[in-house]
Amino acid sequence: MVSMPLLFAELPEPFRGAFDPEAPWALLGEPLDAALAEIAEPPRSISLFEGVFFRGDRIAIGEGTEIYPGVVIEEPVWIGAGVEIRTGAFLRKDSWIGDGAVVGANTEVKRSILLPRAKAPHLAYVGDSILGSGVNLGAGTILSNFRHDGGEIVIPTPEGQRIRTGRRKLGAVLGDNVATGCNSVLHPGVVLGRDSMTYPGVMLRSGIYPARSVVKLRQQIQVLERR
């Protein structure tokens, strides 16, 4: 049996009963579809800035959410209360954004779950991923979700096993309070335990990483006289 790291202290109701600790990415399948299927054509009681573009009507938006000009949202998407979606963000269909989350300027979110208070605030790509509560993605973070050969995402484990996920598209599963440094790139199939962090510029390969990990990048810099 593979030992997964601690990830989430608590999950919101649409996902709580469906969570499989041995395959946390499974939330991106039927559980996410079921949560989004509940969206009909909800009335929107919030005021919107001009220049927000909705593609379709099945977009739920909670009270106190702010959506700035230049945002594009495709149905179906569920957005909780007190969310901030900044200029230029692109929320593609089949995404679930929890209460108090932030989707930043020019950030793209594709079929992902952002748990409450997760933040992707600057120039990020979040593809087929789960961000735990309190996650913060440094500017330019990429959660890559697709192999060049189009093959199934297979995750190597510390025990030397390989987990077949059954998914051709899978980004990262980040536990609560994970922080990535600026310009981090996480390869498809990263599971990073809660309270972990990556240094700026890290390229993290597919795998399972324990809770409270610090992933460092070591580089040697030479300063030469200009001629």
Contact (Cβ atoms closer than 8 angstroms) between residue 195 and residue 211? yes
Burial (CB < 10 A; 0-12, 13-18, 19+), residue 122, is: middle
Q: Supply the pLDDT for residue 219.
A: 85
Q: Which residue has the tokens 């793209």?
A: 108
Residue 224 covered by a domain? no
* Confidence tier at 181 by pLDDT (50, 70, 90): very high
* Confidence tier at 44 by pLDDT (50, 70, 90): low
Q: Which residues are catalytic?
A: 122
Residue 2 covered by a domain? no
For range 202-207, the mean pLDDT: 97
DSSP state for residue 166 in the 8-state scheme: S
Residue 227 covered by a domain? no
Residue 122 covered by a domain? yes
> What's the chain's average pLDDT?
94
Q: Supply the pLDDT for residue 119.
A: 98
- Residue range(s) defining the domain that contains residue 196: 13-215
* Confidence tier at 43 by pLDDT (50, 70, 90): low
Residue 223 covered by a domain? no
pLDDT at 45 over 70: no
Residue type, 175: G
pLDDT at 42 over 70: no
Question: Is the pLDDT higher at 218 or at 146?
Answer: 146
225: which residues sit within 8 A by CB, 6+ positions away?
none
Tens-place pLDDT, residues 118-137: 999 999 999 999 999 999 99
Residue 82 covered by a domain? yes
Tens-place pLDDT, residues 61-116: 999 999 999 999 999 999 999 999 999 999 999 999 999 999 999 999 999 999 99
Cα(166)–Cα(34) distance, rounded to whole angstroms? 19
Residue 172 covered by a domain? yes
Q: Residue 48 belongs to a domain with what CATH number?
A: 2.160.10.10
pLDDT at 206 over 70: yes
* Structure tokens given for 13: 């109701």
Residue 202 covered by a domain? yes
For range 160-174, the mean pLDDT: 96
The C-alpha angle 54, 174, 92, rounded to 5 degrees, equals 15
Tens-place pLDDT, residues 133-144: 999 999 999 999
Q: Which of 105, 92, 177, 91 is nearest to 139 (CA)?
A: 105
* Confidence tier at 46 by pLDDT (50, 70, 90): confident
| pTM score of the predicted model | 0.95
Give the count of domains, the chain: 1
For range 221-227, the mean pLDDT: 92
Check whether the bond before 76 is cis (ω within 30° of 0). Answer: yes
Question: Is the pLDDT higher at 133 or at 45?
Answer: 133
C-alpha dihedral over 187, 108, 40, 64, to 10 degrees? 120
pLDDT at 3 over 90: no
